[in-house]
């Protein structure tokens, strides 16, 4: 015979246990997420080294020179046009191809990324050991061509820290933040986007990654984007706060 008093008591007990485990699980959620973080994806320039490096300035100057020559304008005019039009695209190359019928991407890469460009990046002896201390597979996702990534990673002596580098040719010359680029990289890594974190110094590239289901962190060395609304770190060394 069922003892109604005991049954009621039993149901209460089960409810209590369920509530207990739910509360316990909620408390564990951040740890659970830690277990689900399975890959770190880094932008290269101004992310893996400080934005104070002079290389970017020189790269942009060469982009402006190339644009001026292509459009048949002076450099100042090319700068103004590029500043207005390029933000609609992932890269300057993509803009020139889309709006000016440009096709010789290899000539562009040769001019914009000459051998020796990496001389303006400083070797940081702490970077390699820091990357080694992060116990997750690491990847690079850059809008630059592979030869640039190779030079910079070698200069920083961190080439061997990464399982793979995804460059702009991998993205069929349509780089971040294009959906095709982000999805292609995530598919090649072979993990659910939400199990990965991507870090970049450009807010719209970080948002492009988040829009495809991943986690994103802005690396804002100079505090240029206080209104980004994105999780933000000043240098890559602060990444551990999010792991
Ligand atoms: Mg960058």
pLDDT by 10s per residue, the chain, length 243: 545 555 555 555 555 555 555 555 455 555 445 558 999 999 999 999 998 878 989 999 999 999 999 999 999 999 999 999 999 999 999 999 999 999 999 999 999 999 999 999 999 999 999 999 999 999 999 999 999 999 999 999 999 999 999 999 999 999 999 999 999 999 999 999 999 999 999 999 999 999 999 999 999 999 999 999 999 999 999 999 988
The Å distance, Cα 198 to ligand 1 centre, comes to: 12
C-beta of residue 100 within 8 angstroms of C-beta of residue 126: no
Residue 143 Cα to ligand 1 midpoint, Å, equals 8
Residue located via tokens 């910079």: 152
pLDDT of residue 206: 98
Distance 204 CA to ligand 1 centre (A): 11
* Domain range summary for the chain, segments of one domain joined by +: 37-52+122-242, 55-112
φ, ψ at 137 (rounded to 5°): -60, 140
pTM: 0.84
Predicted local confidence at residue 35, as pLDDT: 57
Query: Which CATH number is 37-52+122-242 given?
Result: 3.40.50.1000
SS3 label, residue 215: strand
Take residue 61 and report the two structure tokens written for it.
């100057």
Distance 219 CA to ligand 1 centre (A): 9
Beta 164-166 vs 138-141: how paired, if at all? parallel
Distance (Å, whole) CA 47 – CA 39: 17
């Amino acid at each position: 015979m069922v003892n109604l008093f005991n049954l009621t008591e039993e149901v209460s007990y089960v409810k209590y246990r369920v509530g207990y485990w739910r509360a316990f699980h909620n408390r564990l959620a951040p740890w659970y997420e830690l277990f689900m973080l399975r890959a770190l994806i880094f932008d290269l320039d101004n992310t893996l080294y400080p934005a104070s490096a002079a290389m970017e300035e020189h790269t942009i100057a060469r982009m402006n020179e190339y644009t001026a020559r292509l459009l048949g304008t002076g450099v100042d005019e090319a700068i103004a046009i590029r500043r207005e039009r390029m933000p609609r695209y992932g890269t300057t190359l993509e803009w020139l191809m889309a709006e000016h019928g440009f096709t010789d991407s290899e000539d562009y890469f040769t001019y914009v990324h000459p051998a020796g460009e990496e001389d303006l990046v400083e070797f940081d002896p702490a970077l390699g050991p820091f990357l080694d201390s992060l116990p997750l597979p690491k990847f690079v996702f850059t809008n630059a061509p592979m030869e640039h990534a190779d030079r910079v990673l070698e200069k920083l002596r961190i080439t061997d820290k990464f399982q793979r580098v995804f460059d702009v040719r991998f993205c069929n010359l349509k780089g971040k933040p294009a959906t095709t680029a982000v999805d292609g990289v995530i598919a090649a890594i072979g993990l659910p986007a939400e199990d990965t974190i991507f870090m970049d110094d450009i807010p719209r590239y970080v948002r492009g990654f988040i829009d495809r289901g991943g986690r994103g962190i802005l690396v804002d060395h100079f505090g240029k984007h206080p209104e980004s609304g994105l999780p933000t770190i000043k240098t890559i060394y602060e990444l551990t706060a999010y792991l």
